[in-house]
Amino acid sequence: MAVTAESPAARPHSDAWGRLRRDGASMAGAACLAALVLIAIFAPLVAPQDPIRVAMRERLQTPSRAHWLGTDQFGRDILSRIVYGTRVSLTVGLIAVGIGLGLGATLGLVAGFSRRLDYPIIAVMDVLLSFPQILLAIAIVAALGPGIFNAMIAVGIGAVPGFTRITRSSTLSIRERDYVEAARALGATSGRIIRRHVLPNAAAPLIVISTLSMAGAILAAAILSFLGLGARPPMAEWGAMAAEGRGLIAQYPHVATFPSLAIFVVVLAFNLLGDGLRDALDPQLED
């Protein structure tokens, strides 16, 4: 769906902030994320225990005073592992989306502006899109070797086509506008046009997509870890924790459930914020 944006940028954003602030759900999501960021940064202070300390005598305990969320099959404190896992998940989201955004938006701009490069870029994006994203991620991880960093790259590359398309269509629609023609006639360079007109207008959908993609990236990385292709032990990553606990759900469901709930909370927070941003930046904007 096309972006119904208008000329020069300042106006939608000041309205947007106001709209966003009034949206309770998004604010809740934002607050939650802020809290998670703080938890991630101050993890060593927040976590009650060492997340990788093995204590076999204490393993598979249900939530108790000593261990608020219980222990896993190595006696490690689940709460502490979830706290440290926040770091991993947020980093995954940032880097994966960073790659997607950086690479994707750049390619999208180029495709939108250069008629010569447009077709090859779109062709490559089509090829990438014809892989199911999970399989692409698995193939990349298989190529690079398992590990959370490679999983981030894999998920990031998978996100590129989406960003490329959005940026390209934004660019294309802006390029046709009268004021851009006028600016060109007056001698403005492409670079200036990009900075003053394209980017501010592409910003809105890009912000929304980035936020929502964070949720998707965290989920994708969790799934990769669940399949055994992401974080390596003893790293505390939520998907890997759920994977380690999945054989135990008959008797000790808490081992897999708490990390799954953590994933749920983060993804929900990003979704709430993303939704709110979308509504705020343009009430009629849709995906």
Partner 1 sequence: MRVYIARRLLLTVPTILGTSLLVFLILHLVPGDPASVIAGPTAPADVVANIRTQLGLDQPILVQYWRYLSSALHGDLGRSILSRRQVSDEVAGAFLNTLELVIAARVWSLLIGIPIGVLAAARRRSIFDKLSMVTALLGLSLPIFWIGLMAMWLFAVKLGWLPISGRGGPIWTGAGLLHLVLPALTLGGVQVPALARLTRSSLLEALSQDYVRTARAKGLAERLVVAKHALKNAMLPVVTVIGLQFAGLLGGAVVTETIFSWPGLGRLAVTAILTRDFPIVQGTILVSAVTFVTINLLTDFLYAVLDPRIKYT
Partner 2 sequence: MSSRTAWWTALAVALLLVIAGPRPTAHAQPNTLIIGQPTDADSLDPHKVSAVIAVERMYNLYDTLVNLDFDMQTITPGLAESWTISPDGKLYTFKLKRGVKFHSGKPFTAQDVKYSFDRWRDPATASPTRSRVAEVEEVIAKDDQTVVIRTKDRSNYLLFNLASGFASIVNSEAIKQHGANYGTLAVDGTGPFKFKEWVLRDRFVVERNPEYRWGPPMFKNRGPATLERVVWRVIPEDATRLFELEQGGGINVSRWIAFSELPRLRKDPKLRVVDYKVGYVVYLGFNMNKELVQDIHVRRAVNYAVKKDDIVNEIFYGVGTPAQGPVSPIVAGTLKDVGKVAYEYSPAKARAQLDEAGWKPGPDGIRVKNGKRLVLPIHAIAGYGYPDTLTLIQAQLREVGIDVEQVLLEEAAIWGRLAAGEHTVFAMGNPHSNPDEILMFYFHSRNRPTPNRFGFSDPKVDALLDEGRTNPDKKRLEEIYAEVQKKVIESAVWVPLWHPGRVMIMNAHVTGLRPHAVYDVGYHKLVDVSIAP
Site for partner 2 in 115-144 (CB under 8 A): 142
Nearest residue to 274 (alpha-carbon basis) of 153, 93, 129: 93
What whole-number distance in Å separates Cα of residue 198 and Cα of residue 114? 14
The first and second tokens of residue 160, run together, are: 């590129």
What whole-number distance in Å separates Cα of residue 84 and Cα of residue 49? 10
83 vs 154, beta carbon nearer partner 1: 154
| By the rule CB under 8 A, 59 interacts with partner 2 | yes
Where does the chain have alpha helices with state H?
10-22, 24-41, 43-46, 78-113, 115-129, 133-144, 148-175, 178-185, 190-193, 199-226, 238-245, 254-281
Site for partner 2 in 209-268 (CB under 8 A): 228, 232-234, 246-251
| By the rule CB under 8 A, 56 interacts with partner 2 | yes
Q: What residue 56 binds from partner 2, partner 1, none (CB within 5 to 8 A, per partner kind)? A: partner 2
Q: Which residues contact 220 (CB under 8 A, 6 or more apart)?
A: 96, 133, 134, 137, 155, 158
- Angle 157-158-163 (CA atoms, 0-180°, nearest 5)? 85
48 vs 228, beta carbon nearer partner 1: 228
Nearest residue to 117 (alpha-carbon basis) of 188, 190, 204, 210: 190
Site for partner 1 in 211-250 (CB under 8 A): 215, 219, 222-223, 226-227, 239, 242-243, 246, 249-250
In the bound complex, what is the minimum distance in angstroms from residue 159's beta carbon to partner 1? 13
Judged by the rule CB under 8 A, the positions of this chain that interact with partner 2 are 52-54, 56, 59-60, 73-74, 142, 145-146, 228, 232-234, 246-251
Judged by the rule CB under 8 A, the positions of this chain that interact with partner 1 are 1, 123-124, 126-127, 129-136, 138-140, 142-143, 215, 219, 222-223, 226-227, 239, 242-243, 246, 249-250, 253, 256-257, 260, 263-265, 267-268, 271-272, 275, 284, 286-287
